[in-house]
Each structure stands twice: as C-alpha cells, then as structure tokens.
A and B are shown apart, each in its own frame.
Chain A
Amino acid sequence: MTLDAKIPDGDLEHKWTKYRSTIPLINPANKRNLEVIVVGSGLAGSSAAASLAEMGYKVKVFCFQDSARRAHSIAAQGGINAAKNYQNDGDSVYRLFYDTVKGGDYRSREANVYRLAEVSANIIDQCVAQGVPFAREYGGYLSNRSFGGVQVQRTFYAAGQTGQQLLLGAYSALMRQTGMGTVQMYARHEMLDIVVIDGKCRGIIARDLISGQLERHFGHAVLLCSGGYGNVFYLSTNAMGSNVTAAWKANKRGAFFANPCFTQIHPTCIPVTGEHQSKLTLMSESLRNDGRIWVPKQKDDPRKPNNIPEEERDYYLERRYPAFGNLVPRDVASRAAKERCDAGFGVGTSKMAVYLDFRFNRKRYGHLEANKQGNHHPTDEEVWKLGKDVITEKYGNLFDMYKQITGEDPYEQPMRIYPAVHYTMGGLWVDYNLMTTIPGLYALGEANFSDHGANRLGASALMQGLADGYFVIPYTIGAYLSQEIRTKAIPTDSEAFATAEQNVNETIKHFLDLKGKLPVDHFHRELGKIMWNKCGMARNEAGLKEAITEIRNLREEFWKDVRVPGAANEFNPELEKAGRVADFFELSELMCMDALHRNESCGAHFREEYQTADGEALRDDANFSYVAAWENKGNNTYEMHKEDLKFENIKIAQRSYK
C-alpha cells in the first residue's frame, strides 16, 4: 500500500485556503443524520466535538475520566503559541512554520505545519471570546512570553495553568452543546475497540466503567483524540490514566502507527525520589525564560547552591549554545543535562539533577518593579521582595507545586530538575485531512503523528490540539462525510459489532480468570525501566535489541502471572489498568523496532552511534527523510511503509542553536 498524504496542490501559502474552499459541503438537514464519535475530551476532543455539534452533526463523546474537564490537557502549564506578532519582534506565519519544522529536526510534513501556523492566530481569538483569562498587560492587551527553540515572544499564557484555562474554555463549549442535546456525553467510559465494516470505521465498543457493561456505538466517522503514549515508560508527566489503548486498537485494526520512537523527554521535571514514585511532575518550560540552568564546576561539590560563587558555576547551556542559551529546544536541553550528570557533575542526593536558578531575574524584575513604583534607589531587600512578587504572579502555582513535592522553597534556593518523559510526537499516521489509513477513522492532537517531527517545541501541543479540533477537522471531515449522506445508521446488533464485543469480552475474562500473583503495576514499572534505560534519552543498537528480548519475556510473564482482582461487572480500576498495560507491552516493542531501524539521530531520537564530534544529533537525510508508518500484521509483527518527506519551502540544514 502506498501512503497518500493527500496534500493539496498549489503554493504553500494558499494550499489550505484554496483546499478548504473546495471541500464539498453537506446541507444542514443531512448533517443532522450524520453521527460522529469522539474518543477523548482533551483540547482536541472537546474542541472538535463542540465545533462539529455547532455545525449540526450528531456527536457522541467518550472519556474515561469522571468529567470531560479532567482530560490531561488540563495539566499543560506554560502556554500556547500563535503567530500574532503582537510584540512587533518579527514573528509571522512563516516564522512559526519555520521554527516548528526546524525544531522538529526536519521530520515533519511542510503542508501540515504551515496550516497549523496559519490557524494559530484564530485559536487565540476563539479562546478570548470564550472567556479564557489570558495574562494581560496594564493597558489591557494580551501578554506574551518566550519558549524554547524560538527567538520571538509568541506564547500566550494564563500563569502556569494555560492548559487548564484552554481546556475549560473548550469544555464549556462542549457542555453548552451537551446541554442543548447536540452532544451525548459518555464520561467514565473507555473505548476498547473500533468496529470496521467493509473497510470503513463504523463505530466503537466501549465499557461503562461504573457498571462494567460493554456498549456498542455506531458512528459514520470516529475521531480518536486520546492523547499520547508517554505512560509506556511508567514514569512520565502524563496522568495516571493516560494510555495508548484507543490508538493501539486502531493500529490492530489497520491504522498505521507512525514514528513511534519519537518521544519527547522534557528537560525540567522534578527528579525521582524513590521506588514508590508513581509519576513525575513537570516544571514548565516557561521557567527557562526566567531561570538559568547550571551545575557546579567541581564534581561532588558539597556546598549548598547559594554558597557556590558565580565563577565556580557552569551555565552549560549558555556555554554550549550562546545564541539560544537556556532557550534551546527540549531535546537539546535534556541531552545536555544528561551529559553533565553522566559526567559526574549532577547535584542533590541522587546526583541525577541540575539547578534551575531564578535569582538573577528575580533581581532584574525587582529593579523594574521598583522603577515602576517611582523608587529609583531601592535597597537590596526591597528589590528581592518586589522581584518575588513578579515571580509569584508569573509562576506562583509552579513554585507552590515544587515546594509541596520536594519540601524545599524554590524562592530561596534553586530548583533541582532532571529530564522526564513528557510527550509523544509519534502516533497514528494521518493524511492532510487527519484521516488514518482506515477510512472514516481520524486522529487528532497528540494521538496523531502530524506536526512536530522528531521533536515538539514548547507551547505547540496546545496549539496543535486546538487547531485540529476547532479549525481543521470541521472542514476536512466534510471530504469524507459528504460521500456518506446515503449511509443509514448501521444497527449495532450486526455481526461486526458482535464480534468486536466478543473479542473485548474474552480479554476481560482472561484477565479475571488468570488469578496470577503480581499486580499490574509491578509489570508496568518493570516495562518502564526497560524503556527508560534502553529506549529513552539515548539509544544504541545493542541496547534496543536487548530491550526487545526483555519486553517479550516480560510480556509473556504478564499474560501468565498478572493478578486482576474483582469482577467484570463492577467499577474495577485494576481491570482498566491491565488492559492498558497489555497494549503498552505491544507498543513498546514496536517503539524499539522503530528506534532500531532508524539509523540516524534526529530530534528526540538520539542513537549514540550517530552523533557529531561535539555530541549533537547527526541526521541522515539521504536515507531517513521519511515517516515510518507501521502496519500491524498480527502477533507482534509489523510491516513498515514510508512516506517520503519533501522540503520545498525550507532549506534543510544541520540544526544549530549555537
């Protein structure tokens, strides 16, 4: 099968405008008979569901949480990018497009990224209209801040809770439609399979997590907005429930999975404290805007950070990357932290941490604030105090979170941070319409592989989720659904639905009958260790081969010896976890295969064999300038299909931030 990305003809600048003006329309009476299922209620899911319902489609939304508002988009902290150029600092649609393609280390599709940059400004307009309380300047205008990999200020934010505010905006739009009856909401429901009839996706099997009943739902189209798969590493900044199940079931039914090895390790997270650790907490990238990262120049320096004099500190990002300094992209910053710690310069009890220090900018802000208040000769004490107020206003919730978790006060001493799994650029392969390789099945937001190449820039996940949901799918879904107006709702007692439900039932029964010895978490934790050590921040051929063997062995043990308590027809969180971990066990092997086949380093995928003399990722454009899309052939075997990437508008170059 050849992959057709269905990229419209014409100039990059006009592709989207021209294309969306020519997609067939559907008359309102027909829309009312077309049913769309949305799986997941984060930024992509909520915005898509609300927008489609506003247009007149019949929409059903499924989420495993108790309310749509709890999807993990809620935890995004720092901000959302948009090419508004409010700061008059040279931003434009082209520059956002260029930064994103370069940030992704030239492994994304030009046309998709350009469209993303194009609609980014509309997102901010839409959110403000919904009442999203973005940060503002004294004149009442919207405020911006900087993020990594970029030299303009284009990030809109609401303290360190931007994801929360954007999601609540999309959620309110979704609730409005639910109240009007155009959306039927299924909270505490988990999608456990998709139903394919005559080659087209026609519905899903979902489990009501309270009663345990399996349900069959028909849809003319199904949108997977189910997020990323970072939890395959067990420890990540994802929520405990974040999982790959929806995307993985789709892969098993014929949707190709693209670039699974592209996983983002975020440089600034609170370090692991012990074996009991259940998840890791991110400290927003926006902190790098105002903080400086350093380690002591002396190994095992016993002094407290505040007692180490300036000249004995190594601001290694500023040293290695003078042009971007602390604002290098995430993959670069993470590897640099690992390099210092591996070389023995790490700090804290575990020595696997670096400092993130705010005192310079706290002083700078203190002076500015004093000046603003007419105090042109402030004392050091006044400066220190005023600076704290500014920092609190910008990042108060993050500083509080840090203090809660570590017991240390980041206002008084630098934060200790270390990289952690955060986001997955890989995901279901989609064409320009966001359709997977199964007709009628779409993937939006983090669930697809689309726009971020081998590394996502900060504040671009929120942008992509909302772009897909508000401004892309409402148009592109018409290309398919306009051909479906004669398709009547397929009764869910048909054979395809019955078989799919039967399969789900058998897996559940298997888990409950097994009566093994070890809890699901035990296996998940062990799997996470394999993945972190051998398919994490740095990979090599030998390690990946070992990982594949270890995963297979552990998977076999899991299916023989996992203990799932309770029954099928009740609220049973352990049963939910077992199903999700089973899917992680399959995906993890594919991730290693993908990492093993890609004999180059690019973005977050760092193969130790392929690096420059100074330790930077070394791409091989001649051989690997493609998307690897994996077709599931059953029994953990896969066939790879390539989508060649063409760069017609950007000159492909060695990525440099020096």
Chain B
Amino acid sequence: MKQPSNQPLRGGDHRLPTLPQIVPLGDCALLVRFGQSLDDAANRAALVFAARLKADGIIGVVEIVPSLVSVLVRFDPAQVGVARLSGELALRLSGDGAFGESRTHRIAVRFDGPDLGEVAALLGLSIDGFVEAHNRGGMRVLATGFAPGFVYCGFHEKSLTVPRRTLVRPQVSAGSVLFAAGQTAIAATDIPTGWHVIGHTQFRNFDPTVNPPTQLRAGDQIIFEVVL
C-alpha cells in the first residue's frame, strides 16, 4: 500500500528517521546515529564505525567520539565541507568490522554498596546470587561519558534489569560501581548519580597526569571480580 503523499516529513513527532543517520551537531561536527534506543546492535555498529573512521584518517576530521549509539565526528570547516564529509562518512556506514584493538580488563570490586541489598531483593536474588549473576559472562565498555573516565558497561541479561533510583544522590565517591538499566557503570571521579551503588573498586579510570588520561576504551571487555 502506498503512503499518503501529503504526510509531512518534519513536524510530526511520530516518524523516526531511517538509521543510520548523519545529522549536523553545530557547525563543526556531524553526529552519526545508529539507534534510537540503547541496544547491543546499535552500540556495536557505533563502535565498528568509529574504529573504521580512526583507521581511515579522513582529511579535516579532528576528533572522533564514540558514544552509546552514536559517533560524533568533529571537523575543521577550513579543511572539509559538510557535504563532502557527509559523503565520506556515508561510504563507511556499512560493512562488518572489528572495534579495533580491544583489550580485556579485570576489575576487582568490593560488593559493599548501600543499594546492594535492595537491588538483590528487587531481582528476587540473595546478595551472593546477585553478585554471581552480575559477574557472570563479563561485559563490554559501551561508552565513556557523563564525567571524566566514567564508563557504561553492558549488557546484563534482561532478567537483571532494574530502573534507576527515584532519588539522585548528590555525590558518590570515585570508584563507586553503579547498576541500573541493564548496565554497570564505574565512576572515576566524585559524581552525582541516580544509579544504585552496588560496590566500590580501587581502579580509577581517570588520571590527568598521564595522557591519555583513561585506560578503558569503548569496546574493551570487562571482567568483574569479587574482592572481599
């Protein structure tokens, strides 16, 4: 059946664009979007695309920032125009690939967070049962964001999903291990958060005295280990 031809392309809030999609973010960046919701395929596609861009070294591109389901490409407009760059990006949208150099990190966590009992209870698990389920299988760094060195790791099984807390804690300390929305996150600095604090780690993914200041890259594998 044909779509009615008078349907507006913009202005409706009902039509979602075809993905992947390249949109300007200001006058010196393009955002390449691979999903409208956070899922494994969209995150993988974003990481593969970012790795491909880095490997290719496109003229005029000054920064490539992989995010949860998108990649920001900052450019110098004196070196490349937006039409030409969009074309270069579009050429690289399809095809398989790897995340680039992906490493495995073992992160020792003391599961002693103030929300640990509540989270386990929400999931109908004992605390030991929750910790065992949480650490089973390892996770992927989905993105760095929100604060210096703050990483989102995913994805837990659907059965391990809890919503965020209703109240935001104004500050949790660096090293806090956070849990919500099917993910585990690690705070590298003191931050406010609405996520559940399930534990703490000595690992700090942010050190401004070295460059690069973080160790974890989007696409890296994380294995959480219990430390007592």
Do A and B pair up? The answer is no
